[in-house]
Amino acid sequence: MKYLVTGTAGFIGFHVAKLLISQGHEVAGIDGMTPYYDVQLKRRRHQALLQSPNFTAHEFLLEDAARLSETYAAFAPEIIIHLAAQAGVRYSLENPRAYIEANIVGTFNILETARELPPLHLMLASTSSVYGANTKIPFVESDRTDHPLTLYAATKKATEGMAHSYSHLWKLPTTLFRFFSVYGPWGRPDMALFLFTKAIIEDRPIQIYNHGNMERDFTYVDDLAQAIALLSELAPTESDDPEETELQGLSPAAPYRVVNIGNAAPVPLLTFIKAIEASLGRKAKREYLPMQPGDVIATCADNELLYRLTNFRPSTPVNVGVDRFVRWYRDYYEV
């Protein structure tokens, strides 16, 4: 199959593209190489993918509608996996405009492109952050998501709504997936695992928010990539059967579904830190701080729909995934 994947120099996009290439698919990757974090790390990811003749790289922002349309028409993909976004909860407090431009305008251009030349399946990334102020655990796809706590979450919620309207109006088979605290090798430098590992190696204190009283449904990146690849083969269809609609997680008004991708096994933050310490063989210096604006106490995915659809659940234990990241970090930075 021919896949167009956006954000292939990013953490998740890199792993998804790598898996698809290993399965024999042809992948065209788009990335804007924005300087939100180390651009050299992004370029190294693309260099690794370019070792395969089945991968082609395109460097531009999705806000460039003309360039996107031209690239899409030339490649004629059968499946789109839209992963490019301005990520980061805390950064949305500092630079909100970046989220509007990348997440709203960029996604709108993807939707318009798909409308003009419909693929077999349009797939877009959302986030567990859309569950916002919900306190019921685990989070189920059918839960209300009306109370986002950050602009990042709000833009992702908006893209879900935009995608549903296009799916309804133009009969585009569309899947949205909500990610839960993804981690692993080649991870983002602004994420907890990367920050903690770097600080402990450099003998600096790590900052632990809400005094460590937090839980996250940490999801190993290879599990996530596998789930996306499996879902890509299951384009939603419209159904008049209410029972089938509910069982398949389908919209009653469009060939559209939302799927959680998470371990369904929240890990206390302090347990996560202990796994990093064990892998590094040294203790962290700890600085306990209050809760940060936009944070939530706990996240947990209900992944029953993912399992019903694919017969697959993420299952990599945190100690295994953390150890793989630490080995990658030591190798990449030669420490």
315 CA to centre of own chain: 17
> Which amino acid is present at 61?
L
Going by the DSSP 8-state scheme, the letter that residue 301 receives in this structure is B
Residue with tokens 């602004």, as numbered in its chain: 190
Burial 172-207 (b: 16+ CB within 10 A, else e): bbbbbbbbbbbbbbbbbeebbbbbbbebbeeeeebe
**H or E segment to which residue 2 belongs:** strand 2-6
Going by the DSSP 8-state scheme, the letter that residue 139 receives in this structure is B
Q: How far is Cα 58 from Cα 99, in angstroms, rounded to an integer?
A: 21
CB neighbourhood size of 93 (10 A): 14
Separation of first and last alpha carbons in the chain? 40
Q: Contact 300/199 with Cβ under 8 angstroms? A: no
Alpha-carbon separation of residue 162 from 41, 124, 236, 261 (angstroms): 31, 11, 17, 21
Q: How far is Cα 13 from Cα 11, in angstroms, rounded to an integer?
A: 6
186 Cβ contact partners less than 8 Å away, ≥ 6 residues apart = 11, 14, 15, 41, 45, 221, 328
- Structure tokens given for 204: 């600096």
**Which residues are catalytic, by number?**
152
Q: How far is Cα 13 from Cα 46, in angstroms, rounded to an integer?
A: 10
Q: Contact 244/290 with Cβ under 8 angstroms? A: no
Q: Contact 297/134 with Cβ under 8 angstroms? A: no
